[in-house]
Structure 1
């Protein structure tokens, strides 16, 4: 446009060159709004919301742009004009603006259907399916099958398997002994260790051994921006598990979901931790047949109340794969690649301390070396031991940073011997 300022013209060009740059687009919208061009500002704010629906600045910009124009000095109406004192002057097309943002910006107020008198109903608040207020609705949480996965499918990790056997599997397989010794079929186990070492895979294997359903609960499944919604989500998850018992509930990233309440500033998060404690206790419900497995990379950040007897009272360290497990992981990631002359036993010895994710990355890196050589030479070649050895030299275990932090906790905050198994491993690896 000819009357457009050079700054707005420059920003338009920048936005066209980088359409995904939300802050740049919002800056253009602000300038348009300041220039009194609300219609164009709405288009830019809507495009920003389409790319980042939760952007607070974009929502505020949209609210300002679609709101009524600020009142100006009212001119005294002429008695002879016949015009109403506050008649709107022709200007912005509000109906067109609504059509442009439909489906991008949700309406601020949603009212229920009109009652018999024709008046609009009261605002409706959606209820979480499966809750007490909606008993007939289906649950939004999918209880999966373990798909035939067993602990035997997990390579190595003999000590971890023995602890899992004692904690969950033996009581279920021996019901008479369970009754004799009064062993309950409820309980919780906290898996902790460096990232990428197979905690989720182990939880699925436990579900397969039990012949139980598997309910994988991520942080995003629980936390909600609305007050009380997070607690309601947790309640709905555990109700689903009880209806589908036997069921393994796997809580990932427990340090974020059940962090120490003394460090939490937001009251809503404290209420979420309290609700989790209530569900683990099974207050007003029976948790028999509901097995709770939780995983965290930072057990020292988990609220101590979650780890008291009767809740997540058993803790299991999941370490980087041992020699046998590393061979199994390497074999798995190389099984469909063109390899020749690979000595898995020697490679497994060279990758001590690597997590399962590190080993997958090693195989990927070795494949890239062979691929680039094939591109340069024009002839495809096999992935050899030299490629894998080179990748092992260049990559560092991602677990090193975790052990650097865990070492201090194990040395100076080992209350009640919680981290004795971690100390033993650090001594064995000479990391102390």
Structure 2
């Protein structure tokens, strides 16, 4: 079948710009209309590898794999039957060496019913995971143990050394690295209940409502003590007041400071406040004074054991064969947990699209994941670029010494 000059020109253009998804989809559309179905599928698959959520590519793939006049359609039921014997899959390592759970999975936690009588809208959960459930991240665990958990577990020793429980812990680092999961694990270590709150849960368009929400939030935590109260996106909830002088957010920050000071009172014993941010340099300095968030903990991208656990988690319920988790973990240094999840999704997609093209279901193989890895870069790069400038030129009081040490170790300075 002859090829039109337009298609030939578009082929040349796509070869020169392989990452131009709209251009590739336009070529695929023309190929499909011209009867070049398999060629069109190959280009749509390449587009989906670059943009898995592209709705136009997904719709075009649906047309390509199941055209009305196709002699045979893909038998999904047959594929399920062919793969049913290998789910869950057997990895290359023995079951005894199976990787631990990863620090980004969120197992369902039972909602606590202790607050139902007072009609509170805040969800109170029961801490059911512990730090042992967090794969790798040994330095983070040691810091948590020394700075936060050990004094709380040993009241007599705390009394002997005059160690105060005043103040909270501020976790910071690039997005997608497990700060929320670690907060849940802290609650489990303390045998405490857990409340997770983000800025969208607190802010309200009506004047005074945001402050009232904060007050009710802390009151709920105190009624459910011992309780770990986790404030996510604290940089948005507690932004620098110098930058929001003329907005209603200033009053919200003041209310947060008031509530944090209230937690330090003897009447509020048993409420432990943790917070997380990707941008600690945007947090109001008053929030980091002694008695508030006076301790900072850097949560970095998962180390190699943690990466292996994350990969295992995202592949364990998929049909896989010949997967070398250790090799993948070694090649994904600097990847966040979210990046690793995306890698597994992309590898699975490559195998699925290949199965659709050939009409035969096959396993997800190491080549699929390595092929996807060629097109994925760590999303943590931009964060480290910003953090490097702050750590080098705005490291007041040594707040970012830990970050500086990491940047030097990774030769990012």
Mapped contact 2:166–2:292 kept (Cα < 8 A):
no
Matching of residue 236 in structure 1 with residue 216 in structure 2 = yes
Based on CA coordinates, which of the two structures has the bigger radius of gyration?
A: 1
Equivalent positions of 1:260-271 (< 5 A) are 260-271=240-251
How far apart are residue 391 of structure 1 and its match? Answer: 1.3
Structure 2 CA distance, aligned partners of 1:379 and 1:324? Answer: 35
Mapped contact 2:350–2:368 kept (Cα < 8 A):
yes
Match of residue 206 from structure 1: 186
Matching of residue 254 in structure 1 with residue 228 in structure 2 = no
Gaps of 5+ in 1: 1-135
Match of residue 99 from structure 1: none
Structure 2 CA distance, aligned partners of 1:209 and 1:400? Answer: 32
Mapped contact 2:227–2:271 kept (Cα < 8 A):
yes
**In the alignment, which of 169, 176, 183 is matched to residue 156 of structure 2?**
176
**In the alignment, which of 291, 299, 302 is matched to residue 321 of structure 1?**
302
**Local SS of the residue matching 1:194:** coil
How far apart are residue 186 of structure 1 and its match? Answer: 4.4
Cα deviation, 1:150-179, whole Å, max 9, x if unaligned, reads: 101111111110111122221232222122
Structure 1 CA distance, aligned partners of 2:367 and 2:212? Answer: 55
Structure 2 CA distance, aligned partners of 1:196 and 1:357? Answer: 5
Structure 1 CA distance, aligned partners of 2:287 and 2:245? Answer: 19
Mapped contact 1:254–1:296 kept (Cα < 8 A):
yes
Structure with bigger helix share is: 2
Matching of residue 375 in structure 1 with residue 318 in structure 2 = no
Equivalent positions of 1:29-428 (< 5 A) are 137-146=118-127, 148-282=128-262, 286-428=267-409
The range that moved more, 277-286 or 395-404, is 277-286
Mapped contact 1:145–1:212 kept (Cα < 8 A):
yes
Mapped contact 1:185–1:290 kept (Cα < 8 A):
no
Q: CA RMSD in A?
A: 1.4
Mapped contact 2:167–2:290 kept (Cα < 8 A):
no
How far apart are residue 218 of structure 1 and its match? Answer: 1.3
**Local SS of the residue matching 1:294:** strand
Structure 2 CA distance, aligned partners of 1:329 and 1:313? Answer: 31
Mapped contact 1:186–1:287 kept (Cα < 8 A):
no
Match of residue 54 from structure 2: none
Structure 1 CA distance, aligned partners of 2:307 and 2:238? Answer: 32
Cα deviation, 1:409-429, whole Å, max 9, x if unaligned, reads: 111100011111111111111
Structure 2 CA distance, aligned partners of 1:267 and 1:392? Answer: 45
Cα deviation, 1:58-98, whole Å, max 9, x if unaligned, reads: xxxxxxxxxxxxxxxxxxxxxxxxxxxxxxxxxxxxxxxxx
How far apart are residue 181 of structure 1 and its match? Answer: 2.1
How far apart are residue 287 of structure 1 and its match? Answer: 2.9
Cα deviation, 1:358-380, whole Å, max 9, x if unaligned, reads: 00000000000000011111111
How far apart are residue 285 of structure 1 and its match? Answer: 7.1
Instruction: Return the TM-score normalized by structure 2.
Output: 0.70
How far apart are residue 311 of structure 1 and its match? Answer: 0.3
Cα deviation, 1:280-334, whole Å, max 9, x if unaligned, reads: 1117773321111100000000000000110000000000000111001111111
Gaps of 5+ in 2: 1-116
Structure 2 CA distance, aligned partners of 1:234 and 1:285? Answer: 20
**Local SS of the residue matching 1:394:** coil
Cα deviation, 1:27-73, whole Å, max 9, x if unaligned, reads: xxxxxxxxxxxxxxxxxxxxxxxxxxxxxxxxxxxxxxxxxxxxxxx
Structure 2 CA distance, aligned partners of 1:318 and 1:263? Answer: 26
The range that moved more, 264-273 or 237-246, is 264-273
Structure 1 CA distance, aligned partners of 2:163 and 2:218? Answer: 21
Higher relative contact order structure (alpha carbons within 8 Å, sequence separation ≥ 6)? 2
Instruction: Return the TM-score normalized by structure 1.
Output: 0.67
Structure 1 CA distance, aligned partners of 2:363 and 2:390? Answer: 45
Structure 2 CA distance, aligned partners of 1:307 and 1:178? Answer: 23
Aligned residue pairs total 296
Structure 2 CA distance, aligned partners of 1:180 and 1:254? Answer: 34
